[in-house]
A and B are shown apart, each in its own frame.
Chain A
Amino acid sequence: MAAAEPSLTQLLREARQGDRAASEQAYAHIYRWLHDAARAQLRRGAEHATLTPTALVHEAWLKLSSADFEINDRQHYLAMASAAMRHLVVDAARARKSEKRGGQLVRVTLPDDGVPASANEVDVLSLDAALGQLEALEPRLASVVQYRFFGGLTEVEIANVLGTTERTVRRDWRKARAFLHRALSEAA
């Protein structure tokens, strides 16, 4: 890594002061790191990969931040990392879906795919779409899902990032969850 490259902490600070370029750079940084780490983890685990977003996101922070961070930097980071995790999962699903296209004429099955192999990808994409609907309706509920489900943040962390109480986070989660489950069961 080039020595001149600014640290994530520095980028986040500049982003908070309104520097869009710094914000994008920080996001790209986080995304790339999470992407590589998730891949490595899945490759290692091969079959029983346990991709825990919490561990990934926190590990990334430890690796990327410098010691001089402020509490605001960290909260900013957690929000960005959650968004990055969501995009990462969705991008992977899209990639696989397009890879599959063209292969539709010929279906060759594996012994265990009584469940269509594509079920997971469809789910991720429809979850993303439903989350988009929720965003239009109640943006804060959508954020809670992004932080908790994709970012793996705890209720306390979410409450800190959003500047609300834990109780509110819990109630938001319950509403968001009902909304999404319903939207997804309708889609299916």
Chain B
Amino acid sequence: MSTGTDRTVQAHARGRRALALFDELADLAPADRAPVLDRLKTEDEALFAEVVALLSADESDGPLERPLSDWLTAPEPMPERLGPWRITGVAGRGGMGAVYFGERDDGQFSQRAALKRIRLGMDSPGLRLRFLRERQILAALNHPHIATLLDGGVGDDGAPYFAMERVEGQPLGRWCDERETTLAGRVGLMLQVCSAVQYAHQNLVVHRDLKPANVLVDAQGQVKLLDFGIAKLLDASASGGTTRERPHTPDYAAPEQVAGGPITTATDVYGLGATLHELLVGSPPRRAGEALWQAAQRATDDDARRRGFSSKVALERAVRGDLSAIVQRCLEAEPNARYPSAGAVAQDLEAFLQGRAVSARSPTRGYLAWKFVARHRLGVAVAAAVVLAVGGSAASALWQASLARRAAAEAQAQLDYLGSLLQVLSPSTAEARELDRSRLVTEATRRARAELADRPESLASVEFALAKVAQNVGDLPQALALADSAYERRVALVGRDAVASAEVQVLSAVLRARVSPPRFAEAEQLMEAALAVLRRRAPGSVTELEAVVQRAWLAGEQEKVAVEEATLAEALARCEGPLADTPICEEAWLVQGAVASRSHLPEVALKALLRAADAKSRRLGPDHASTLNVKSMVAWAQAEAGDLAGGLAVADEVYQAYQRIFTQPTETSLRAGLRLSRLAKRSGQHERALMLVDEYLVHARRVFGEHNQNTVLGLSDRASLLFGMGRFDEAASEFERVAAEYAAIDNRLNAALTRSYAADSLREAGQAARALPIGTEALATLRQSYPKGQHVNLARVLTNVARTESLVGHHPEALAHHAEAVAMHRALQPTSSYTAHARAFEGEALFAAGQRAEGERVLRAAVAELSASKTASPNMYWEPFAVLTTVACANGAADCDTLKAEAKAQLEAKLAAGTLSRLRAAVR
């Protein structure tokens, strides 16, 4: 103990002396210090060392120059919740935010996640919409080496958060160093990273921030990539107004990233190279042009030992050649000079592991021959004799063959990459219309045209595939240009009369009908030509069937009902055969459902939609967004077909599924919520319907914005609900608001319709005099808006205006309008209950105008006709019934008491407020 204390005392004494000497020397010029220091060095070497260290510390900047604020980053208080996640702890903090651990528990599952909150405001609805869409795409990434994005949203404070799969692992570099992983082992891990990156690229997601710290490895040696695509979300929000400089990771950032150039998949190829660089030699790339083996000279012997080498010289030797070439090709400053894909990087890494030729090295004869020797050490002794015998020619042939094989492999890789773009945009991600994605398609096209210029067959296939991708991302002009180009190429190769050309032509036709403005004439011409070829060359094939379904769709778009029905019938017949299980039949049934419900054939529509839903559920799973969307349509069709309770149950089920699966609303889930609200309303569950529509509005305002038509749709539903609930004053003002929204976006038709509803609300609120001019004006606008002068909406408005006129005593006008409405309904759909409904109110008007007996007769006939749809549309029956009861009793009819009793029995039923008040009036 005492010696320890002595040593401390000694050290203190030396420390004090060193400080004193420093004080003496500090102000001297270096030349004047030298003699003192020289003397000190011989006298007391330890003291000398300390003084020198102090003098050099004096000259350099140190931590005390940093302001105190740098030392203190404010720890944000840990939130209790983020969205549905309960926060359980802090994983780490960084300059841009914090990472927390979280759990979610909804009674059935409990899920753990790492939650990342980023200190950025997302203030505009547009940004938020983009964020939510992007998040949906990221969440769809499903790969064993990608940490799944579970959820993400924007917190109350406007800061976005992400919930990621919680990975138990270590960062790539540390994992390898602790286990002293060999170079081959490290390259093996990079192969996993490449496969994850390749998969993401095929889904049009670029990581943008690949670096060793973003790669975790678990105890089993399985790699997980973190933060896929998140850098882009940050960029998206930054470019939307935040001027703050974005911190990036310069060591791993590609030159185009630093320069603010376009980010493509090549950016990630650079990131792969930088990661590989650090993994192999212990440091990220430093200077442009410095080769990997040169960087290896900066490694320590320790670094080398951790990679299984005796010294850094051995490490340097090992990374010369193939590995240096691979890293260098990844790190090329010019994006086009890099590997075309992560898959191509993986191929070279695999080739390295197997001792085969890597594409990154220039195929010099010596290199390939050396590779060959290395791979076939045993056989070479024999082969050498042959080479000697036939001179250079065999060696030359060997080289040629290898070159050809390499070219073929690369072309295949190219095709795999571009061709796979075809499948990547699944239905659930197709809603994402992203500028960046169409730029990615443009980039892929440019590359394909450059690299496949001498392989027109491959190029045509790639263009065809890219056309479909462009269509999926909503870039229709680009899709059309690609399809046309692919078509021309195939025609040049195989002529017009070939399946390969015709299948492209079908797509060209569809795209022509979808661009704005639609080019229907061209579309139809191309479609007919393509179908003719396919009928001749590929009868009974899926390709032909696809063309048939598309033809039906095309006819429907142009309202060519006869062609549509005939073509659809053909497609449906085909879907009863061996092709029943192909996805195109799902589309056929969906078209059938749409056609049937338009033609008021709810049973047929229901059956078709059920088949589509069933097929989708089998193919994609019951909870897939696409399946749920069709199911939600099924619910509606079921209600239309008369099974309101059943439809409501299905809609409820879909709604619950959306709530369970998606923690944030999507466009389709919102639509499903609105459908459920409407079904609840029709089932008389007004309070629930109102709650649902209010919920819809909250999300719609956030996702779509205030003046978006989807939001207005919700407002309009809400107004109708208020009307149904008898809150007529509120309904009137809400309808006026909706009408103003429609007028603002120049939708005259909807504005007029909505104003007519406002007029109805006023009438029901007992303000018929105020309602009349509004209704009349709306009617005039509507007459102009429906060019044929006939429409079911026009007929309904006529009835409603007539009812108002009747109330204020304008009997002749009322009767004329009623007659016109009934005639219009009858002309449009002779069998529908709308005619009887309109007729009932005509009866009421006749009675009011003094034709008491005729009025009663008309009412009785109408009510008798309506009784068939009593359960499906109860309000459409009971309101006329109430009117009939009042009129019949006023006329002193014999069955007055029976009618009253029947009306009385309905007073407790779930009916619209207007209907109930009429029933109450009738029984008094």
Contacts and interface: CB of A to CB of B under 8 A. Distances in A.
Interface of A: 38-39, 42-43, 45-47, 49-53, 85, 89, 92-93, 95-96, 99-100, 102-103, 105-114, 117, 120, 123-124, 127, 136-138, 141, 145, 149-150, 152, 171, 174-175, 177-182, 184-185
B747 interface: no
Contact of A111 (B55, B60, B234): B234
A100 B813 CA distance: 81
A51 B60 CA distance: 24
Nearest to A149: B64
B96 A110 contact: yes
What 10 pairs across the A-B complex have the smallest Cβ distances?
Answer: A42-B74, A181-B62, A110-B94, A51-B69, A112-B247, A182-B57, A181-B57, A113-B94, A178-B58, A178-B54
Contacts of A52: 67-69
Given A174-B58, A181-B60, A181-B63, A110 B95 contact: yes
B23 A175 contact: yes
Given A96-B75, A109-B227, A175-B22, A47 B92 contact: no
Contacts of A39: 74
B209 interface: yes
A137 B227 contact: no
Contacts of B119: 46-47
A108 B164 contact: yes
Interface in B231-251: 231, 234, 244, 247-251
A174 B74 contact: no
Contacts of B248: 111-112
A138 B227 contact: no
B215 to A, nearest CB: 10
B170 interface: yes
A89 B62 contact: no
Interface stretch (B11-19, B196-204, B591-599, B793-801): B11-19
Given A111-B209, A111-B234, A114-B249, 15 more contacts: A49-B69, A52-B69, A93-B72, A95-B75, A100-B93, A106-B101, A106-B167, A107-B171, A111-B227, A112-B248, A113-B213, A120-B73, A124-B71, A152-B68, A181-B57
Contact of B251 (A85, A107, A114, A185): A114
- Chain A interface, >50% SS class: helix
B54 A179 contact: yes
Nearest to B147: A108
Given A113-B213, A117-B92, A182-B53, A108 B99 contact: yes
B490 interface: no
Contact of B69 (A50, A150, A182): A50
B68 A184 contact: no
Contact of A174 (B26, B118, B171): B26
Nearest to B118: A110
A145 B89 CA distance: 36
B822 interface: no
Interface in B1-40: 12, 15-16, 19, 22-23, 26
Which of B63, B90, B96, B119 neighbours the largest number of chain A CB atoms within 10 Å of its CB? B63
A178 B90 contact: no
B668 interface: no
Nearest to B14: A137
Contact of A92 (B53, B58, B72, B209): B72
A111 B99 CA distance: 12
B168 interface: yes
A109 B68 contact: no
Contacts of A138: 16, 19
A60 to B, nearest CB: 15
B168 A106 contact: yes
B230 interface: yes
A108 B249 contact: no
B406 interface: no
A182 B51 CA distance: 10
A93 B888 CA distance: 87
28 contacts: A42-B74, A46-B74, A46-B119, A49-B72, A51-B68, A53-B68, A85-B68, A93-B72, A100-B90, A102-B89, A106-B166, A107-B170, A107-B216, A108-B116, A109-B94, A110-B95, A110-B116, A111-B230, A112-B95, A113-B92, A124-B71, A127-B63, A137-B19, A149-B68, A171-B23, A177-B57, A177-B64, A185-B62
A103 B92 CA distance: 7
Which of B74, B95, B101 has the most chain A CB within a 10 Å cutoff? B74
A175 B19 contact: yes
B114 interface: yes
A90 B674 CA distance: 55
Nearest to B115: A108
Contacts of B216: 107
B212 to A, nearest CB: 10
Contacts of B72: 38, 42, 49, 51, 89, 92-93, 120, 124
B93 A178 contact: no
B95 A113 contact: yes
B337 interface: no
B247 A108 contact: no
Given A100-B90, A113-B94, A106 B114 contact: yes
A127 B68 CA distance: 12
A161 to B, nearest CB: 19
B89 to A, nearest CB: 7
A108 B23 CA distance: 47
Given A108-B91, A111-B234, A181-B60, A120 B70 contact: yes
